[in-house]
Chains A and B, each alone.
Chain A
Amino acid sequence: MRRKRTRFEARGQSLQCTSRIIAPDVEEREKGAAYPASGGEVRSTVPALPSYDIHANDRLRRDPGLYPETGERTKFPTTGHHIHPSASSHDGPQPSSDESPSMIELHVWNRAFGLPSLDPECLAAIAFLSAAIPQDLWVLVESNNVSISPNGALPALKDGSQYIGGFDSIVSYLSSRSSGRSDIDRNLSEIQKAQATAYRSFIRKTCLPITSLSLYVTSKNWVRITRPLYSTFLRFPLQYEIPHSHHARAIAATSHLSSLIRDIAAEDSNAISQPFSTAFAGLTASKTDEQKDAEKGEKITTRVKLRNFLADFLDPIREKLNREKYFFGGSSPTSVDCLLLGYMSLLVYPDLPSPWAKEIIHQEFADLVRYVDALKKALLGDGIDRKEPEEADRLTFSSWVANGAADIPRRMGWVDGIPLEEEDWQKQSSSFWVALQGIVGLVAAAGGIFAYKTLTSSEVEVEVQEKIGDAEVYTTARAEVGDASAAGTRSVNEFSERETAEPLPIFKVEDMLGLRL
């Protein structure tokens, strides 16, 4: 971590000496540079900053102490693929203008359901950026590419050459970067900040199972809406793998809700079977009133269970919100509002074939719907600029394969699941691949030796075709290479009726392989 800081400071100096127009921004960058000391999620890569002082950049490159990570980059090409080699040279010739040196890019999952993203954390990050910094300083990039993020998940923020992954890290990075100007929690008291931390964990813990259940695990919604949704923005092989992994994650997050999942499935299957039973009303016996009552009762109990499940999350939120416009009162949204908006909008807005979440919230928590509506209008409105991802950040088949290959050892459980440091992720997987290559090499060498031994074995079989009279006779002779006489004697015995006992034509293996030529 200390090495990184050295480099940041060096970069800061190099910028300071030439750029007076963006002087405040340099301060901000220095602030940002101080951040990694506390937070472990800032991954810095080769400075792809627009180089206002090209010579300074060269100086940095010459001095290995100031520029320690070039070696690392070459060592781990699989994870460094997002660093476009031409990035710095491309930015280099740009004349320094009074434009912001680089737009902040927020990389998120694709838009869906009339919302800018399909992922709650991404929505929260979009809302946060809308609230924290002016619209002309950042763009939204629907890159769908998790490999650019240091923590392996979107949202990820790209600021120049730095990538920051995860909502919490984005919030703390931006808050420290601009000397507190983009800290939307700055007006909170100490105890409110503590509460903000607690509510963030509360929202994630209780609402993630709800959104997962609604969008991914309720099978009707998954089959008809969510899974097809991924096909609309992912290309051929990826549209099968990525939704599958999201589905698996959602199932893991809802594993404690198995009885609720069963109830929803039962309710849905009843609803589906009704049109059939009316269509075949003449053929199938119509349901007795008793059965209908039982079904109705079941439906009501399922509803009550689902309502209680949602209330576990929404009741405390409603009580705390207390009909205010924002979570902690006040006149502006806080990071908790952003996170709440991210998670709740995925319950309130999507039109799903099994709409239990939407129905219950609209029926019983109408005040919360109004709260989300107002926040959405303010923070997830139409004014967000979008941009195509840069070539290096694009989700391509090769980048996906590279990322997946680096991840295989962990997924298969061949290496330890959770390393302490972020760098260990790369070390672990690359050391695994080195070991695998070693093993493959050893096996190949052993195989080669074995093949050579078998091929050059001194015993060969030779098939002889002869014409005796009108019939063709095939015989096999087995003998040592070069030992024509031994083979010959055997064959002579076998074909004793022949007048001439020619030695059998025996080839050496070297001839067959063309080595003698």
Chain B
Amino acid sequence: MASTSAPLPSPPQSSRTPRASSSSPAAARTQISTDTTARGTSFRPPRFIRVLFDRFPIYIYPTDPVPMTAREFQTTLSKQPKDDIYGTNTLYVFSLPGDAQNCAPSFNPGCLKWQTYLKIRGVGFCIESSSNHASPTGSLPFLIAEAAPIAGSSERHLPKTIPVSKLAQWVEDNAPGSVNQTNPDTPDYRAFTSLIDTSIRQAWLYALYIDSTNFKAQTKPRYTYSTPIWPVNYFLGLQMRQAALDNLKINTEVSKITGRMIYLRAKEAWAALGALLGGQKWFFGAQDAGIFDASVFAYTHLILNQDLEGSGQDLRAGLETHANLVNHERRIRSTWFG
């Protein structure tokens, strides 16, 4: 309203709008009379209402800026105090705040996979402890990419948010080249990826969510550290556990699954992965580690380095019989998380 008032040919001298200027009784009368003639009715509001409305507007805010270009918006953004967080890539993962500062491995395999892969590809980034609610897609991890500087100025473009589904492509576009030339479309690659996504993931879910000792000691405190109030974290825990249960039930073709069956499958999967790795340094005989190595490491690291109690020790024992997988984990850990 104020902006339309600016170009009016004869604005009142005061900062008030035309309607405000009608506070003088004469002006009000003329305005209302024009209204009535326009409508062709003889309606006239009662006097006290006219007096009341003559007082408005009480205050007029300063003029908004005209519609902005994106560039100008970025300038205003980059002047904000949190400027520094846009100066670097930030990966939002499940992590405890202390771990996030040291860029220590996340406790969630899905996040750790991408954290490892970004490190392998030499992308500079810091990690931020976060939760699903922060993510635009509803799942972690996601990356807020470094805001690119605008040429010829000290300001930056608006930073981009990259969800996990587009992270691989973003790494290809933004990271230094890799010598790992494994083609992710080969049948074997897909088959072994699905082996990790089913057998090993299910065993992980069972050990960490269904096995109540680990769930109480590790999973629940970690995922609900930010809401330590009693009933809230209790129900969050229940929800997480139920989600894991549903996931395990959907993804098996039998109805009476047991933890033993799940661990047996995982054991077969470790054996298969061990045979696949063989005596090579990296999976699929690559020159350098790649995303498949990262996704194996995400599970092996957590299984070997967390103190899994109860039935989780079976899972760990199944993995430890394959020395090459253990060495593979150690190799990645010492190289990128040393």
Contact = CB atoms under 8 A, between A and B. Distances in A.
Interface of A: 38-41, 121, 146, 150-153, 165-166, 168, 190-191, 193-195, 197-199, 201-202, 204-206, 208, 252-253, 255, 316-317, 319-320, 416-422, 424-425
B237 to A, nearest CB: 14
16 contacts: A150-B256, A151-B261, A195-B188, A198-B276, A201-B269, A202-B191, A202-B195, A205-B197, A205-B251, A253-B250, A320-B188, A416-B210, A417-B248, A420-B258, A421-B259, A422-B258
A201 B192 CA distance: 8
A412 to B, nearest CB: 13
Interface string B209-253: 011000000000000000000000000000000000100111101
Contacts of A38: 264
A197 B245 contact: no
Interface in B247-275: 248-251, 253-262, 264-265, 268-269, 271-275
Contacts of B248: 417-418
B278 interface: yes
Interface string B141-183: 0000000000000000000000000000000000000000000
B129 interface: no
Given A40-B264, A255-B250, A418-B248, A195 B258 contact: no
Interface string B187-198: 110111011011
A422 to B, nearest CB: 5
Contacts of A191: 275-276, 278
B256 A152 contact: yes
A418 B257 contact: yes
Contact of B258 (A121, A193, A208, A421): A421
A419 B187 contact: no
**In which size bucket is the chain B interface?**
35 or more
B273 A194 contact: yes
A197 B268 contact: yes
Contact of A201 (B188, B199, B210, B261): B199
B311 interface: yes
Contact of B311 (A151, A190, A195, A420): A420
B260 A421 contact: yes
Contact of B259 (A194, A198, A255, A418): A418
Interface of B: 186-188, 190-192, 194-195, 197-199, 206, 210-211, 245, 248-251, 253-262, 264-265, 268-269, 271-276, 278, 311
Contacts, number: 118
Contact of A166 (B190, B254, B273): B254
A39 B259 contact: no
B191 A151 contact: no
Given A152-B255, A197-B195, A198-B195, A40 B190 contact: no
A254 B69 CA distance: 45
A228 B9 CA distance: 80
A194 B272 contact: yes
A151 B259 contact: no
B317 to A, nearest CB: 13
A371 to B, nearest CB: 15
Contact of A204 (B198, B262, B264, B278): B198
A152 B254 contact: yes
Nearest to B269: A197
Contact of B271 (A197, A206, A253, A316): A197
Contacts of B259: 418-421
B191 A198 contact: yes
Contacts of A202: 190-191, 194-195
B275 A194 contact: yes
Is chain A's binding surface mostly helix, strand, loop or mixed? Answer: helix
Sorted nearest first, the 7 A-B pairs with minimum C-beta distance are A152-B256, A40-B260, A316-B187, A194-B275, A420-B259, A194-B272, A152-B255
A319 B261 CA distance: 31
A417 B209 CA distance: 12
A201 B191 contact: yes
A38 B321 CA distance: 15
B272 A197 contact: yes
Nearest to B211: A420
Nearest to B311: A420
Contacts of B265: 168
A151 B275 contact: no
Given A201-B199, A316-B186, A417-B248, 4 more contacts: A191-B275, A197-B269, A253-B250, A420-B311
Residue from the set A166, A190, A197 with the largest chain B CB neighbour count within 10 Å: A197
Contacts of B273: 194
A206 B255 contact: no
A151 B256 contact: yes
Contact of A252 (B210, B250, B258): B250
A198 B188 contact: yes
Contacts of B272: 193-195, 197-198
B260 A206 contact: no
Given A191-B278, A201-B199, A252-B250, A422 B190 contact: no
B121 to A, nearest CB: 25
A195 B206 contact: no
Contacts of B191: 195, 198-199, 201-202, 316
Nearest to B212: A416
B306 to A, nearest CB: 19
A153 B198 contact: no
B271 to A, nearest CB: 7
Residue from A121, A152, A194 whose CB has the most chain B CB atoms within 10 Å: A194
Nearest to B251: A205
A496 to B, nearest CB: 68
Nearest to B277: A194
Nearest to B268: A197
A81 to B, nearest CB: 16
Given A153-B253, A320-B187, A194 B276 contact: yes
A204 B197 CA distance: 12
Contacts of A419: 258-259
Contacts of B195: 197-198, 201-202
A153 B190 contact: no
